[in-house]
Amino acid sequence: MIQGLIAKKIGMSQQFDDAGNVVPVTVLKAGPCTVIQKKTPETDGYPAVQLGFVEERAVRRATKPQTGHFKKSGVPVVKKLQEVGCSDLAAVKEGDQVLVDIFEIGETIDVIGTSKGKGFAGVVKRHHFAGGDAAHGSMFHRAPGSIGASSYPSRVIKGMRMGGHMGHDRVTVRKLKVVATDKDQNLLIVKGAVPGAKGGYVLVRKAAPAPARAK
């Protein structure tokens, strides 16, 4: 069984539950996806399938290697490819479609996407530093302060919190609840927010089981 599919974020909305409470939801266009390639333990070392997100407009000016890669699945070259896990490779073949009905209402899922990029940001915005004294002449309003010692180790330690590129990170939001599905329009509605901007691609997969605690 294929464990997930590729989706595109349409935007956020809200619904009312049975008690009349407002529930924030995210609407995703989940598929249709097509199996482009199978990954087997014998040839690749792990079981998985490569999915392609089928959109209305195919890729223009596809290269010969791209055309050859997609030829076996029988679909035109698509823009977005993603590997997902598969528990039964024998029941899957190239060209099979994966639709939103692999998820059930009430099921928990994980959504993986790329967060919004914020450009360059200082330590106050990026790492929530408090900043220095705001008095006249302090010259330490939003500065990071010391970033290391001089004599030892005479270098900046890896992971030091400093100003830099903020956002545009791979983010996984776990255990979101499926509120509704629409197979005809390939829509998946989940409770809560998912990473990324409108129109961004995300990977929706069945929620991974919680790791067992050591006794």
Question: For every one of its 215 residues, what pLDDT tens digit does the chain have, with 9 covering 90 and above?
Answer: 788 899 999 999 998 888 888 999 999 999 789 888 888 888 888 888 999 998 887 788 888 888 888 887 788 888 899 998 888 787 888 888 888 888 899 899 999 999 999 999 999 999 999 988 889 988 899 999 899 998 999 999 999 999 999 999 999 999 999 999 988 899 999 999 999 999 999 999 998 766 666 66
User: CA Rg, the chain, in Å?
Assistant: 23
Q: Identify the pLDDT of residue 176.
A: 93
Residue ranges per structural domain of the chain: 117-167
Strands, E, within the chain: which ranges?
Answer: 4-16, 22-30, 33-39, 48-53, 81-85, 97-98, 108-114, 117-121, 164-167, 170-182, 187-191, 201-206
Among 23, 98, 82, 8, smallest CA distance to 48 is for 82
Cis peptide before 32 (omega within 30 of 0): yes
Write the CB contacts of 71 (distance below 8 Å, at least 6 apart in sequence): none
Q: Identify the pLDDT of residue 211.
A: 65
Note the pTM of the prediction, 2 decimals: 0.83
